[in-house]
Amino acid sequence: MFGKIAAFLFVLIISSCSTVTQAPTQSDLHQCRPSQSFKPTSAKVTLSGSVIFSNGKADYYLDLPEASWTCAIPNSRVTNLFRGIDAATLLRATTEQKNNKQDVLKTRIGFKGGGDFRLFVDEQCTSLGLSYLFEINSSKGEEIYGCQISPQVASAIMWKRTAQAPFIDLAYLPFYQPFVDSLSDAN
């Protein structure tokens, strides 16, 4: 008899300690989105394509592949950390939906010819925490590569080199500006 009571109490204690998971309601999802007055002090980019915006008091999670805010805490490894103005730039680019063809930014960086362009791009992308590198078919005398956070994210930084030119043309959406800025700082 004592064994049955102990087993019952054990099950009761375990069930009272476990959390009940429910699907978030529409009002819950609204709470998962930062208010317009939210000013992030940091933004962590994860390998899976989530961005964790934080101001020290609250965290908000953006799922880049789904292009939506979520209440679920990302469980993927952080590959990049941006602070201050860079975190604010990431948030502004995502909330203002500046992710269209007309929003593409372009810049040019120096490149000393003679080296392996693909290897150079791969090293630069890795240093930025961008893990997925791909090649685009291009015309003769041109090489074009792209790199992104993960294959599920529908945007990338595109790298183009033309016929041994001493520079590389970059094209990217505003979201990637802090990545490109840190690239410029490194060169």
Domain residue extents for the chain: 24-95, 101-186
What is the architecture of the domain spanning 101-186? 2-Layer Sandwich (3.30)
What are the pLDDT digits (tens) for 4-48?
333 333 333 333 333 333 344 444 446 799 998 999 999 999 999
pTM for the predicted model, two decimal places:
0.76
Is residue 66 classed as helix, strand or coil in its secondary structure? coil
Q: What is the pLDDT of residues 66-123, one digit of tens each?
A: 989 999 999 999 999 999 999 999 999 888 766 666 789 999 988 876 678 899 999 9
Distance (Å, whole) CA 129 – CA 23: 32
How many beta carbons lie within 10 A of that of residue 89, not counting itself?
Answer: 19
- Residue 17: left if φ>0, alpha if ψ -120 to 50, beta else—which one? alpha
Predicted confidence (pLDDT) per residue in 35-47, tens digit: 989 999 999 999 9
